[in-house]
Amino acid sequence: MTCRQLVLASTSPFRRDLLNRLGISFNTANPQTDESPLPGEFPEYTALRLSEAKARAVAHLFPDALIIGSDQVAILDGQVYGKPGTHDNAVRQLQTMRGKTVNFYTGLCLLDAKTGAAQTRGIPTLVTFRNLTDEEIENYLRREQPYNCAGAAKSEGLGIAIIARMQGDDPNALIGLPLIALCDLLREAGFSVL
């Protein structure tokens, strides 16, 4: 196993905190990537494409590193719900999602900047929202302000109270960085986590 430099292509404090759980040394870099979906693009492909685009956006800064990129979209009835950005958008998203099951699809990429080879994985997490009242939605948004979270759902905080159940292979995927899949990708790249 080699000890390569590891870089997280993200400014998300949530992804940084998740990666810190592994107890390994890493750097972070801002990928400054346009997160708009392409016309006609399937949402799952958007998440995978953007996870790789984020990793590639910082590769020139770390030419010998293994670079982690991640992106998430929320999908309900074929409609994509990204980061709401504003309170009003978040209200609309949660009103639409209440009482329904949403697929929070997380794209993960591990890029070997030295070779240009990228490994990607897509990790779905099905989240069923409680049938929230408008007052509950307002209370949640006022207290949590999850305007930078896909679907306005911040499960690592108060958002857990708006969720009825979750189904997925990795609880960390919903927060934005699927650590189980990442450990697999790092192992395949020869990077020792343990």
Nearby residues of 142 by Cβ (< 8 Å), 6 or more positions away: none
Q: Let me know: does 108 contact 72? Beta carbons within 8 Å.
A: no
C-alpha dihedral, 134 to 140 to 142 to 143, nearest 10°? 160
User: Which tokens is 185 given?
Assistant: 């990708």
DSSP code, position 38: P
Burial of 9 (0-12, 13-18, 19+ CB in 10 A): buried
Q: Let me know: does 102 contact 151? Beta carbons within 8 Å.
A: yes
Residue for token digits 């430099």? 5
Q: For 9, how many CA atoms within 13 A lie in the half-sphere containing its CB?
A: 29
Q: Which of 17, 34, 71, 169 is catalytic?
A: 71
Q: Is 71 a catalytic residue?
A: yes
Q: Known catalytic residues?
A: 71
